[in-house]
Structure 1
């Protein structure tokens, strides 16, 4: 079988290999996609690391960007600084999962110079489970009525998030 494959023209082999890689990426992203999409966001309430009381109802009226991340996630470390530019114009809440105690998450944020991010520590993973999170980072765009309108798994851009927030706004 490999002899026949090697006998194919180079451009065809490259095309097949690219298709195979794209298929693998698609399967991985499909697996990591949250099980909860395009539905009503689960109600939540809690206290951020800054001591602010937050709930889904408290964000009603404007779109909310809810970002689920973990301290041990390298992609999250790349993505979290991009959120700082969104804080002035949009409602943003981040959810730290499996990242330790409140003090450990605060220390991580301090070291990354991200102490200004609004963070709800979901150390036991209850809210992440209700959101259907399978992998991090995951971004949810929740519209003004509490409906999940967009989900994005993995690395994304701040302009892409802005466009989605504008779209549902």
Structure 2
């Protein structure tokens, strides 16, 4: 008895979904690159600012360990979705957040208290600090290594586990 032969069409059925998946992946990566085109790379620019409680802070204060620098806004719906993840990450990793065009320190302190957030926040009332990082839209995240070099950058909704993985990888690099 002979073995049944597969028709050529049946043998190639897996190619079509694979090609479609590849096309979707390429479109996703192209869109991601386009969204991040203005975000800086290389060494992160140092800055001096004040946290909401008036404590002076500098990016150089975070040297020696990976750090997440996260730009967000109170008026941003996507930022509100991921704010809980950023808060949780800040309990295990160094995190510095920058509230872009979201009011003064007093208004932001009230917002943070209302939502139960305790992460380090800089009020970037005019967006000048965001502009230094090439951030034109939020949310935007930068993962810096221990030497202050930008290892990863992300714009748009990002998962907490994805940010943790990037922080972990920045520690290894």
- Local SS of the residue matching 1:96: strand
Question: Which of these residues, 55, 59, 66, is aligned with residue 58 of structure 2?
Answer: 55
Aligned CA distance change for structure 1 residues 108 and 21 (closer, same or farther; 3 Å): farther
Superposition pairs for residues 1-169 of structure 1, below 5 Å?
A: 29-33=32-36, 35-114=38-117, 116-169=118-171
Contact 1:65 1:141 (C-alpha < 8 Å) held by counterparts: yes
Q: Rg: which structure is higher?
A: 2
TM-score (norm 2): 0.78
The number of residues matched between the two structures is: 155
How many angstroms apart in 2 are the aligned matches of 1:85 and 1:93?
13
How many angstroms apart in 2 are the aligned matches of 1:137 and 1:158?
13
Aligned CA distance change for structure 1 residues 99 and 166 (closer, same or farther; 3 Å): same
TM-score (norm 1): 0.80
Q: Report how far residue 31 of structure 1 moved.
A: 4.2
Equivalent residue for 2:17? none
Cα root mean square deviation, aligned: 2.4
How many angstroms apart in 1 are the aligned matches of 2:69 and 2:116?
20
The structure showing larger relative contact order (alpha-carbon pairs under 8 Å, at least 6 residues apart) is 1
